[in-house]
Every structure is written in C-alpha cells, then in structure tokens.
C-alpha cells in the first residue's frame, strides 16, 4: 500500500475509524467529547447516564462520540461512533439513499473486492490486560470485547462477537451454530487442525456495517468484504497477520491474532454461569457454558490507537444492525410485490432488528393485497423480525413519529393488524419467553397495513406533501485514491440470521 493510498484510507471516514472520528470533529465538533480518567468498570455506566439513547435509556436521541481516558492504560476508549444513523450514512457514499430493489442492485453492482496492502502498527507483547476492556455491569462475568470483528478463512468469515477476557492471552468467544465462523470452526476440528483467526478492533465503518449483513442473501461471487467496498466507494485493505496464516483489516486500530483449537470455557461469575453483558434490546444477557476459546498469539497496535467498544444495549448496536438488516431485507425479496418497495427502516426501538417500517408505492387496487404477502416473506426470511408496519411512500419511514402518524390515521388495528402464530419465539425478547407466555399466551409475528386503500387515496392526501427530499451525501473526494493492488478472492457466506447480537454478523 503506497503512502498516498494509506493516507487516503486514514482520511476516508468509510475506510478507517480514525477517519470517521476526524470527519465528525471537523463537521460537528460539539458531538465529540473527551472525558476521564475513569476506570474500565465505570465507563459504560457513565456513557449510558450521559449520552446513551433508546434502547439503553428512555432518551430518543442520537448518541455523541466520547473518548475516555482510563488513567492506567495508554490506550483510550471510544464509545458512540455508530450512535447516529444519519451520521453513519453520511460516511458511506455507497449506502442507498432509499433501500429498495434498485438501490441494493446498484450496491451489488459496485462491489469492490478487498485488496492486499500493508499494516503500519507496533507489535506488542501479548497481554489482554493492557487493553482497557470494559465491564458493563456488575452482573457481567468479566470484561468483554464488544466491537471485535473476527476474520477467518481468508476473510470469508466476517462477523462481530462478544468475547470474554479469561486471562492475559485467552478469550471466550460466543458464536451461533450454523453461521460461517461456526461452520469453519467445526470443519477445522473435524480435520484435526486449528482455525487461525484475527480479532480486529476499531475497524472501518464500511466493514462494521457489512459484517451484519445476512450473507446468504448475497449472490455468488460477492462477499461481505466486497459489499463493504461498495459501501465505502473504494476497496478495503487486508494485510497478513504476523503470527497466524490469516488476514487482518489493515486499518484496524488494534488487532489480536490467534487460533481456535477446541478448548472451551464458561462465562462464569465466581464458580457459576450467571449473566453476560446486556443485550441489544436493553435487557440483561445470559451467560453460556462451553464457549470456544481463542488463544492469542500476537497483538499489534497502531500509533495513537483507540480501543473501540459498544455498551451492549446502546443505540450503536441498533444503528449497525438496522442499516445492515434493511439491506438484507431488500436483498432477500424475490416476488414481484417487492417492486412496490419505496424504502425500509428498522427502528432502534426494536434494536435494529425487531421492528421494520416499509413504505410502498402502489400502482393500482390489486396492490392493496401486497402487504400480507410481503409480511410472510419477511418473517420467513428474517427470524428476528417481530413487527412490520407498511406505509405509503409519502411517509418517511426513518421518522418514528411519521410512522406513528400513519398508524394513527391510516390503520384500524382491529382489521389492519394481522398476527401469525406459526413462528418460533425469540428468547432475547422477554415477551416471547416461556414465563411471559404462561401469562399472556402464544407469541407471534404481526404486521400492520397502514397504507391507504388505493380506491380512496384521495381521502388521505397530506395537506403538505412529504417526505421532503434528503440532501445528497457527498461522494468520496476525487483526489482520494482508491487502493489498487491485488484483489483477494473470498468465499460467500450462506447461513441465515439467527442467534445473539454479539455474534453480530447474521451469517
């Protein structure tokens, strides 16, 4: 990677975390703060109290970015980077202005495979205690990596997981059976070999959003790294690890190298499995037993690095998941009804996964039946989705109050809300647990048709037309060179989205 290309990556907010921070400080400096010193056990609570929004707290606000000094660590903590969806969209020139069929087709057409390059970082002795790993609550089994992106199998496995620090050189990793990383791990164990992995912290925003895509919805020959390149408008750069045969994201702030070899450990507090860090819906998590263990063999840190984290139930999780899930929903659509789709949005109120608003542009009376068919397709393909609200295209689905306005004035819930009870419950949602169901009955997936019947559309014409056009995001600077070296072929993930949010890549 040439010096000019490296400099461009650092400056581009899609291609490096520090580029995103620099962009925020340049364009909206009042949203960036420095606090501390605070200990790693106190930082998450401080951030939640001062800045976090729904679902962590009852504040419906975008989150600010805070750099925390810890006192005893030379690496500060960064929280809040993804806490504002419009801010993140502004960093990703390839993200569709509207998430519809045409938008995701353009995105796939712009896919840019990752390229090889150089990582400029200092190699440090392996010591996880040297990182300011946060403990979110007293119920947590310990300190957790919450924004560590795991790469394996040449980059074909790309996903974010929660990882409990066990000691100075071991991490317990939660991963869901059936996903790409879990499949590669199982294959390695059956073959009697280790699975080399890299854990990348402080990754490019384009990679973070792409990692949460449902890989099975991508066409053959397009992987998540290539989609990240499309989101960024330039390819991401991979470099080789120093102690393992595995790639790393060259612009990551911190990289841990290691392997999975069949060793396991429990998420324990004392001598029993109890809680893990809070989950994305705002509730306490549950600890797991027998988690695979990563043995760390190498650690590199960029000059001036920051340790990036999320607090679990904060808005950051919802934004990352919601931006990616909207793309996944549009990519999964197969029937002609999807041609009516105008835009998609997954609200932070549902953690970016449970609550979907979809605006439709009807063309005739026959389209009045489309919401029922589309809802079935969504629930079949996306097991996290619990509620879909369909609106007309004069409603801005990114504005929760506008969606509520459509619900209030264009839907009669007695006839326009339909529930399907033939889907399995989602245990992370308290209202779908066995204890809750014993009090209230069966869980279900529901949709609300808050569209105007086509024949009476004249009765529901807005006095002032909406939604207003959104400003077009600036493209990448013309003088920002794209990295141009050797494309790296990678595989295509194929598994559906299921499991816990700290195994964030749905495939």
Reported residue count of the chain is 507
For position 283, what pLDDT does the model report? 79
Q: Which two tokens stand for residue 392?
A: 């007309």
The answer to whether 256 and 199 have CB atoms below 8 angstroms apart is yes
| 214-216-221-223 Cα dihedral, nearest 10 degrees | 20
For position 488, what pLDDT does the model report? 38
Which DSSP symbol is given to 277? S
- The DSSP H or E segment spanning 299 is strand 291-301
In a 13 Å sphere around the CA of 310, the CA atoms on its Cβ side amount to 35
The residues facing 447 across adjacent strands are: 388, 418
* Gap between the Cα atoms of 479 and 477, Å rounded: 5
For position 143, what pLDDT does the model report? 93
* Gap between the Cα atoms of 212 and 506, Å rounded: 6
* Gap between the Cα atoms of 263 and 291, Å rounded: 8
| 477-481-486-491 Cα dihedral, nearest 10 degrees | -10
SS3 433: coil
The answer to whether 198 and 149 have CB atoms below 8 angstroms apart is no
Of 24, 53, 31, nearest to 400 by C-alpha is: 53
For position 458, what pLDDT does the model report? 94
* Gap between the Cα atoms of 507 and 504, Å rounded: 8
Sequence-separated (6 or more) residues with CB below 8 Å from residue 486: 115, 116
Of 325, 470, 471, 476, nearest to 13 by C-alpha is: 476
Strands of the 115-116 sheet, one edge to the other: 115-116, 237-240, 247-249
Region of 184 please: left (phi>0), alpha (psi -120 to 50) or beta. Answer: alpha
For position 154, what pLDDT does the model report? 84
Q: Which two tokens stand for residue 195?
A: 């699975």
Q: Which two tokens stand for residue 127?
A: 């010591």
Q: Judging by beta carbons within 10 Å of its beta carbon (0-12, 13-18, 19+), is residue 137 exposed, middle or buried?
A: middle
For position 264, what pLDDT does the model report? 96
Q: Which two tokens stand for residue 131?
A: 């990182």
Which ranges of 2-68 does DSSP label H, i.e. alpha helix? Answer: 3-11, 17-27, 43-50
Regions of the chain short of the pLDDT cut 70: 1-10, 269-277, 466-507
* Gap between the Cα atoms of 274 and 285, Å rounded: 9
Q: Is the Cα torsion angle 282, 285, 291, 295 positive or negative in sign? A: positive
Stated pTM of the model: 0.90
CA geometry: angle 331, 337, 341, nearest 5 deg: 60
* Gap between the Cα atoms of 31 and 33, Å rounded: 7
Radius of gyration of the chain from its Cα atoms, rounded to whole angstroms: 22
Q: In the CATH scheme, what is the code of domain 319-460?
A: 3.40.1670.10
* Gap between the Cα atoms of 52 and 44, Å rounded: 10
Of 314, 188, 201, nearest to 262 by C-alpha is: 188
* Gap between the Cα atoms of 62 and 118, Å rounded: 35
- pLDDT tens figures, 453-473: 999 999 999 998 766 666 555
Axis-axis angle for helices 315-332, 101-109 (nearest 10): 90
């Amino acid at each position: 990677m040439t010096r000019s290309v490296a400099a461009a990556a650092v400056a581009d907010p899609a291609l490096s975390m520090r580029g995103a921070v620099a962009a925020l400080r340049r364009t909206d400096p009042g949203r960036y703060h420095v606090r501390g010193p605070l200990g790693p056990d106190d930082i998450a609570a401080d951030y939640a109290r001062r800045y976090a929004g729904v679902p962590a707290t009852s504040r419906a606000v975008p989150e600010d970015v805070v750099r925390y000094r810890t006192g005893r660590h030379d690496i500060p903590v960064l929280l809040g980077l993804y806490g504002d969806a419009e801010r993140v969209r502004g960093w990703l020139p390839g993200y569709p202005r509207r998430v519809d069929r045409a938008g995701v087709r353009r995105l796939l057409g712009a896919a840019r495979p990752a390229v090889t390059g150089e990582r400029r970082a200092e190699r440090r002795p392996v010591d996880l205690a040297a990182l300011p790993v946060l403990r979110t609550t007293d119920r947590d089994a310990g300190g957790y990596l919450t924004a560590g992106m795991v790469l394996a199998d040449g980059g074909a496995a790309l996903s974010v997981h929660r990882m409990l620090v066990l000691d100075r050189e071991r991490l317990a990793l939660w991963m869901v059976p059936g996903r790409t990383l879990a499949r590669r791990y199982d294959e390695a164990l059956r073959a009697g070999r280790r699975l080399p992995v890299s854990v990348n912290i402080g990754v490019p925003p384009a990679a973070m959003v792409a990692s949460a895509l449902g890989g099975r919805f991508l066409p053959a020959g397009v992987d998540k790294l290539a989609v990240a390149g499309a989101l960024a408008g330039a390819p991401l750069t991979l470099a080789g690890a120093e102690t393992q045969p595995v790639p790393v994201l060259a612009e990551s702030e911190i990289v841990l190298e290691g392997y999975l070899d069949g060793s396991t450990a429990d998420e324990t507090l004392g001598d029993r499995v109890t809680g893990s860090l809070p989950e994305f819906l705002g509730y306490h998590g549950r600890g797991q037993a027998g988690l695979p263990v990563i043995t760390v063999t190498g650690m590199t840190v960029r000059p001036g690095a920051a340790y990036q984290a999320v607090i679990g139930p904060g808005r950051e999780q919802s934004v990352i998941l919601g931006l990616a899930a909207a793309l996944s929903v549009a990519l999964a659509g197969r029937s002609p009804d999807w041609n009516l789709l105008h835009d998609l949005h997954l609200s932070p109120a549902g953690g970016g996964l449970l609550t979907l608003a979809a605006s439709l542009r009807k063309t005739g009376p026959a389209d009045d039946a489309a919401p029922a068919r589309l809802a079935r397709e969504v629930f079949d393909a996306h097991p996290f989705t619990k509620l879909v609200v369909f609106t007309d295209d004069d409603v801005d689905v990114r504005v929760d109050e506008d969606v509520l306005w459509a619900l209030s004035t264009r839907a009669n819930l007695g006839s326009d809300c339909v529930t399907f009870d033939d889907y399995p419950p989602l245990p992370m949602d308290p209202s779908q647990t066995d204890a809750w169901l014993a009090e209230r009955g069966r869980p279900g997936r529901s949709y609300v048709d808050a569209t105007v019947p086509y024949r009476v559309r004249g009765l529901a014409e807005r006095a002032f037309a909406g939604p207003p056009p959104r400003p077009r995001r600036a493209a990448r600077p013309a003088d920002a060179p794209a990295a141009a070296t050797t494309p790296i072929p990678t595989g295509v993930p194929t598994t559906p989205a299921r499991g816990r949010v700290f195994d964030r890549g749905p495939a």
